[in-house]
Amino acid sequence: MQTETAPPPAASTQWIGDKKAQRSKVFDAFFSWATFAASWGTVALLVWIALQVGYAALPAVKQYGLGFIVGREWDTNNDVYGALPLIYGTLVSSALALLIATPLGVAIAIFLTEDYLPLKVRSVFKFLVELLAAIPSVIYGLWGIYIVIPITTPMGNWLNAHFGWFPLFSTPSNGPGFLPAAFVLAIMILPTIAALSGSALKTTPQALKEGAAALGATRWDVILQISLPIAASGIFGAAVLGLGRAMGETMALAMLVGNNNQISASLFAPANTIASLLANHFGEATGLEVAALMYLSFILMALTLGINAVAELILERTGATTRHL
Amino acid sequence: MDLSRKPRVRLIFSRAMDIAVGFVTLAALVPLASVLYMVVRKGAGNLRWSMLWELPPAAGMDGGGFGNALVGTLLMVAIGAAVSVPTGILTAIFLTEYSLGSKSARLIRFCAKILSGLPSILAGVFVFGVLVINRDLHLWGWNFGGFSAIAGGGALGILMLPIVILSAEEALLRVPRFLREASLALGANRTQTVLHITLPAAISTIITGVMLAVARAAGETAPILFTALFTSYWISSLHEPTASMAVLIYNFSSVPYDNMVNMAWSASFVLIFIVLVTNIVSHLVANRSK
Amino acid sequence: MKNLFVLTILAVLSICSVQADTITLNASGATFPAPIYNRWFAEYSTAHPDVHINYQGVGSGAGIKSFTGDLTDFGASDAAMTDAEMAKVTDGGVVLLPMTAGSIVLSYNVPGVTGAIQLPRDVYPAIFLGTITKWNDPKIVAANPGVTMPDLPITVAYRADGSGTTFNFTSHLAAISADFKAKVGSGKAVKFPVGVGGKGNDGVAALIKQTPGTIGYVEYGYAMKTNLPMATLQNQAGKFVAPSPDSGSAALAQVDLPANLRAFVTDPTGDASYPMVTFTWWLCHTTYTKPGVADAIKALATWCLTDGQKLAPDLGYLPLPASVVTKVQAAVSTIK
């Protein structure tokens, strides 16, 4: 499946003039060099960012070492910094958001790529979904405060009153917390997941669909057995981009997550995330706290790396990489 | 293809799934519509045409607009796109056409994925540390130091890059292999194949990715706050503090002055309207050029 | 497409480029005084079209960083600058200029209670420590005769973002409560033992409005403009004083500014003084090498200290007392 296509023989001279061929050869070399440079430029950029962040983090790394990762306090006054509640909050909020957004996003994508609606209506929907990615996160934050929290708070309190024994509902809701944060986060990444999953689903060759239909397959036989498997890697890619956005989201989360450095299993408890703490503290931070914040950023980058590595492994195991036909 | 179950069962299942997916889509559209409705209701109602060319008001003042922020956002997103779109697409081409399945391709894709999870504020912190803080950083006759539209655009470019790479890569991968093989068999070289066959076949999906990147960049506050700062005046060069819609929205949404809060909503409305127009126009242009 | 984009932008740029003899001052820092600063600069610019001032509230810490890195012509900070921070500024010294002041209020949402709640000096630190947890706590009831306090748990709302507001609020609590000083201390972002964090004044205000029983601290200007209820606090002299421009100015008048103009009003004396007030500073160089900058800053600061002060009460800030203005003016005149 992944065999390299051998470079074509130098036969091109046969159908274009010699001079032209020479020029196109030079251009070919230049172009492949440009793609090479761009790719490694991307790698260099990441390394540069990592070095810059790592260098700024150095004082905190020296001071706290690996204990930083399991520390539970973030106390600017006494220069005591620990990342555990933040790591926990980041992972849980992004996982929840992805859990909500992926099925919804794929459902939207299926609905908008299969011929449920007239083409005109579909493209209107498609544009609407894409442009939701343009709403500034501050606005999502305000939407969360004024629309989502008034809904989740009574819901949380009711669940807590009746099912308080269940760890997920073990605290009452004071407004901000995991649930509203993850919900708003899910809505924020929904456009990315829906738009890119839609693109992936659209590439199913019409001939395959028609062929299946001719065999008597229903619409959902086609979707489940042909379209989705073909689009699996694309959907996965969309989810990865969504996850990236979710883990790195700052402003909206800073407004909704409650900003409390605690580890609680409850969905309604206020929590905190790495990016949110970064946004809240960076402007006023001085001295060792700046280094600690950079250390935290470094951990976030490592987390993204780790999650992607795991995801890639899973994808390989399950053989979902049906990339080409 | 497994069609072993009875046609009737499969048909009922299919109908049920139709209803289910329709229902889920509707359920998902409710919050999406709610956000959009909130922005449109609060933003469009207070929108005056003069907002588009007037300068931002200060606390307790009436009127004003966000003309300079609009220009600043267009400028910085354009700079970000000018940096990230070619780089991103070239990278995607390298990944799919030149090094498919190789170790280096894996590494590069990995780096792009990690970049996609970079908190936006870090892009700002990075550019601040590399460009802004070196006040007189002259390269190729340009001053890259200090607060500037260049620094702001650069920070946005960093955010856009992974989105462009990853979506363009997916798009290119989905171009059927036989198209490339046919082109190569006809004697076209790789570059010709990429530019005339693969890229045009994938362009519509690539544009979707670029638009998502543009949309995200246009709404980002954190990377611009520390790199482009803000100004209440028109900009006269690329080397000075530059206003942006996102920072204006950030500033104005948290103050207790009605005029400014309303303007934050109007600015959000205009921002998504511009993204919508850009989106439609770029799809039209791409479809025409096909 | 992109070409069109760039062309449009260039066209716009060429239309609105300004005349060359304009002097531009760049500044960044504290977010708390950003509204009044931007108002000042807008008014000043209208009167003096040849001076442009860019100010962005990025936070005092980031503002100090930019000022130290010589990226801005002046900075702004709610906590002035420490001696260590000032030592890092290379060319010449730093002049600290208190330019305006504000008060911080305790705002709350207690259903059924109209009128201002009175909170004694030993009560409100305890609320933020989490030791007083009910609105019908005997101490609160005793301070509010004739008011029926509900049997409702108290939810504390604090600023999650680092801020000068938190710095001044906690400095005051630490000054009046040894317990608070020991357990929490003072700073721009502290670890409150209880409560939920909101981002910015608006975040805290939303928390207060949405959850009955919530109490939080916000800036006076914010509470005034958005009609939030404000608690009457007991000052050092034992009197209950409501927040207002007058009671705030009375507190400021009690302060004797030292030579470097850096003074924190953590617990003002005087019967009419509202207990939680704070100055906020500009950070300027003693000498400027760029031509015209020193004169521009001096003229600007002088205008802000005179005409500018008149705008303060409307925007919810405190006008500086005359004695303070004189001292700051003297400091302004030393800038070269």
Kindly write down the DSSP assignment for every residue of B224-280, as one continuous string. HHTTT---SS---STTS----HHHHHHHHHTSS-HHHHHHHHHHHHHHHHHHHHHHH
Nearest C-alpha of chain C: how many angstroms from A73?
Answer: 9
A1 — pLDDT class (breaks 50, 70, 90): very low
**C157: enclosing H helix or E strand:** strand C155-159
Q: Which residues of C touch A286 (CB under 8 A)?
A: 61, 64, 85
Q: Name all chains with 3 or more CB-CB pairs below 8 Å to chain C.
A: A, B
CA-based nearest residue to B245, from B39, B98, B100, B83: B39
Contacts of A243 (CB under 8 A, 6+ apart): A94, A98, A189, A307, B117
A78 touches chain C (CB under 8 A): yes
CB contact under 8 Å between B94 and A35, yes or no, is yes
- Are A247 and A90 in contact, with CB atoms under 8 Å apart? yes
More confident residue, A152 or A10: A152
The amino acid occupying position A119 is: L
CB contact under 8 A, B38 and A34: no
Q: Determine the distance from the C-alpha atom of residue C125 to the mean position of all C-alpha atoms in its chain, rounded to a whole number.
A: 20
Contact A254/C190, CB-based, under 8 Å?
no
- pLDDT for C16 beyond 60: no
pLDDT at C12 over 80: no
Q: How many CB atoms lie within 10 A of CB C184?
A: 21
Which residue is closest to C52 within chain B, CA to CA?
B233
pLDDT at residue A4 in the model:
43
Subunit contact C36:B232, Cβ cutoff 8 A: no
Residue B23: the pLDDT is 86
In this prediction, residues C3-10 reach a mean pLDDT of 53
In our burial notation (b when 16+ CB lie closer than 10 A, e otherwise), range C259-298 reads eebbbbbbbbebebbbbbbbbbbbbbbeebeeeebbebbb
As a whole-number percent, the residues of chain C with pLDDT over 70 amount to: 94
CB of B257 less than 8 A from some CB of C:
yes
3-class state of residue B133 by DSSP: coil
Contacts of residue B83, Cβ cutoff 8 Å, sequence gap at least 6: B153, B154, B157, B161
Mark yes or no for CB contact B110/A139 under 8 Å.
no
Model confidence at A56: pLDDT above 50: yes
Give the count of beta carbons closer than 10 Å to the beta carbon of residue A239. Answer: 22
Nearest to C2 by CA among B278, B142, B243, B168: B278
Q: What is the pTM of this model?
A: 0.85
A149/A181 Cα distance (integer angstroms)? 9
pLDDT, position A14: 47
- What pLDDT is recorded for position B60? 83
Contact call for A142 and B279, based on CB within 8 A: no
Q: Which two tokens stand for residue C194?
A: 């209880």
Q: Look at residue A324 and tell me whether its pLDDT is greater than 70.
A: no
Q: Does A225 touch chain B (CB under 8 A)?
A: yes
Token couple for A202: 């659209």
Q: Which residues of A touch C203 (CB under 8 A)?
A: 145, 255
A146 three-class SS: helix
Nearest to B131 by CA among B150, B144, B148: B144
Q: In the predicted model, is pLDDT for residue B130 greater than 80?
A: yes
Q: Indicate which of C6, C56, C107, C304 best probes the interface with B, i.e. most B CBs within 10 Å of its own CB.
A: C56
pLDDT at A316 over 70: no
Residues in chain A: 325
**pLDDT tens, residue by residue, C100-119:** 999 999 999 999 888 899 99
CA distance C213 to chain A (A): 10
The residue of chain A with its CA nearest to that of B219 is A136
* Cα–Cα distance for residue pair A304/B245, rounded to 1 Å: 29
What CA–CA distance (Å, rounded) separates A83 from C183? 21
Judge: A136–B245 Cβ closer than 8 Å, yes or no: yes
Two tokens, residue C32: 């708390």
Q: Look over chain C and give the mean of its residue pLDDT values, rounded to a whole number.
A: 88
Q: What part of B 136-155 touches A (C-beta under 8 Å)?
A: none
Min CA distance, A166 vs chain B (Å)? 27
Residue that wins the pLDDT comparison between A11 and C175: C175
- Please tell me the predicted confidence (pLDDT) of residue C228: 92
pLDDT at A142 over 90: no
Mean of pLDDT over chain A: 82
Which pLDDT score, from 0 to 100, does residue A325 have? 36
Q: How many CB atoms lie within 10 A of CB A29?
A: 12
Chain B: closest CA distance from residue C236 (Å): 30
Output the pLDDT for position A135.
81
Mean per-residue pLDDT for C169-188? 92
Q: Where are the beta strands (DSSP E) in chain C?
A: 23-29, 51-57, 74-77, 94-108, 118-119, 155-159, 196-198, 214-219, 232-234, 240-241, 277-285
Closest CB to A149 among C160, C190, C210: C210
Q: How many DSSP H helices and E strands does chain A contain?
A: 13, 2
C-alpha angle A255-A261-A265 in degrees, rounded to nearest 5: 95
What is the structure's pLDDT at A48?
Answer: 92
* CA–CA distance, C67 with C282 (Å, rounded to integer): 10
Tokens of residue B147, six digits: 């607060």
Between chains, do C18 and B233 touch, taking CB under 8 Å as contact? yes
Distance from CA of C147 to the nearest CA of B (A): 30
Q: Mean pLDDT over residues A102-129, rounded?
A: 84
Task: Give mean pLDDT, residues C6-27.
Answer: 62
Of A153, A280, A285, Cβ closest to residue C199? A280
- Facing C71 at nearest CB: one of B146, B255, B282: B146
The pLDDT value recorded for residue B289 is 63
